[in-house]
Amino acid sequence: MTGEPPPLARAALARAAQHRTDEQWLRQAWPVARVLLVDANTGGQALVRDAAGAGEHAELVLVDPAQAPETGLDARIFVGVDVDGTPLFAVDAPLPDLPGTRRVTVRDVGHLLGDRDAGLLTTAAALVGWHARHRYAPATGLPTRSVDGGWSRVDSGGVRIWPRTDPAVIALVQDGRAGPQGRCLLANHHTRRGDDHGRLYSCLAGYVEPGESAEAAVAREVAEEVGVQLSGLAYLGSQSWPFPGTLMLGYFAYVDADQPIEVDPEEIVRARWFTRAEVAALLAGQRVDSGDGFAVRLAPPASIAAFLIRRWMADDRPNLGP
């Protein structure tokens, strides 16, 4: 399938990995760098400024090294270089109060950022969170320190650990029909059950288990969570999701909609079919009832779930086959 990539799959940042182990280069790069401050204690928040047309575009706030907290080499994360060759670093630090800025996470503004900023914030948030969770080596229990420009940690015995990315699958289950009456199956998960203002309905997702392919994981998760069997599967794309460190693999999952829905009560509050007409109403800001008295809310625009829903709305064709 063709079309726009998922919102956090845009890659306009040169990572320049060859410099990570060169301490002399990293020291010389710091004084001329731009620095992104990310606060691990607030879920990876950073500062942005809204560009012209507020709410439609945002830009990361990068500071000069002199404005960043005083740090040693082991507290600086070398993220890459900008198109003009400027080194880019991230530092875990409380965010300052700067006029005209607001505090956000990738979840809040990933879809509003330009290509470079989307990749920069996603990478920085994932690495800052990983460092905060790995102060000690899991195998030895010894304290660790950051090395290789923030891309590795090592303990006093030389045991090294690296950032981990866990693969997860997410699928928009659909009946394969064209037109406004074509339907997709969305679920309200216990972790997003919502409040009196509405409940979030999203795609079905889960981690790939050991010894399992991504495609097998989709079939298993759909069967476990809503009790239906797949008749076809199509891969659409992937994106990083730094909560805490996941690679989301996005699929369309085709099913026979006559199958009864049997939700897993441990994970799912409610699941139901939505027509394209209903989803169009939701995207237009209109109220759609979930069927139990609550208003439906869709996944945030920066998520791959929102990407899958938008692609399904645009791909108004019948199922082309398994």
Please tell me the distance from the alpha carbon of residue 153 to that of residue 161, in angstroms, as a whole number.
5
Residues of the chain with pLDDT under 70: 1-2, 52-55, 194, 316-322
The per-residue pLDDT for 320 is 47
- 124 sits in which H/E element: helix 115-133
The reply to whether the predicted model has a pTM over 0.85 is yes
Phi, psi of 142 (to 5 degrees): -80, 150
The per-residue pLDDT for 18 is 97
CATH level 3 topology of 166-314: Nucleoside Triphosphate Pyrophosphohydrolase (3.90.79)
Domain with CATH 3.90.79.10 in the chain: 166-314
**Residue 149 in 3-state DSSP?**
helix
Architecture of domain 17-161: Alpha-Beta Complex (3.90)
The per-residue pLDDT for 322 is 46
Partner residues linked to 113 by β-bridges: 58
The per-residue pLDDT for 30 is 97
Q: Kindly give the residue spans of alpha helices, DSSP state H, lying in 175-275.
A: 214-226
